[in-house]
């Protein structure tokens, strides 16, 4: 069990700016855009272009990135399904759940889902 906790802590301490280019790359490989990835991040966290850039420049870790998010979207409970072998709606650790929500949304973008559906409009 201790190994799992340390893996989780390792994810929490990862710089968001290190993972962000991978989100963009995953989307662009499937014909989607950086702007669409940003729109997903803005929708989920309440950040805007300026505040997102601040966190990228500061090399903020995932814990701080989500702790300082202006407002988690009230529709996050509508994000369901499996990512990395876990059902996002059943992840007990709230921070890990937020990270997986973002992974799931970027995954849906890369799979060609319409933005209205991704943003649970």
Output the pTM of the full model: 0.92
A 10 A CB-CB count for 113 gives: 14
If phi over 0 gives left and psi between -120 and 50 gives alpha, with beta otherwise, what is residue 85?
left
Task: Place 7 in a pLDDT band, splitting at 50, 70 and 90.
Answer: confident
pLDDT per residue over 66-83, tens digit each? 999 999 999 999 999 999
Q: What is the mean pLDDT of residues 99-104?
A: 96
Instruction: Write down the number of H helices and E strands in the chain.
Output: 7, 2
Q: Domains (ranges, CATH) in the chain? A: 2-118 (1.10.8.290)
Q: What is the mean pLDDT of residues 93-105?
A: 96
Instruction: Find out whether 103 and 83 touch, Cβ atoms under 8 Å.
Output: yes
Task: Place 53 in a pLDDT band, splitting at 50, 70 and 90.
Answer: very high
């Amino acid at each position: 069990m201790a190994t799992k906790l340390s893996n989780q802590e390792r994810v929490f301490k990862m710089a968001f700016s290190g993972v962000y280019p991978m989100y963009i790359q995953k989307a662009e490989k499937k014909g989607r855009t950086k702007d669409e990835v940003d729109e997903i991040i803005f929708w989920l966290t309440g950040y805007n272009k300026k505040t997102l850039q601040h966190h990228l420049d500061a090399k903020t870790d995932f814990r701080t990135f989500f702790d300082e998010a202006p407002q988690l979207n009230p529709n996050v409970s509508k994000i369901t399904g499996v990512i990395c072998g876990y059902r996002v709606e059943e992840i007990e650790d709230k921070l890990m759940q937020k990270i997986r929500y973002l992974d799931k949304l970027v995954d849906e973008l890369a799979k060609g889902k319409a933005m209205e559906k991704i943003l649970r409009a």
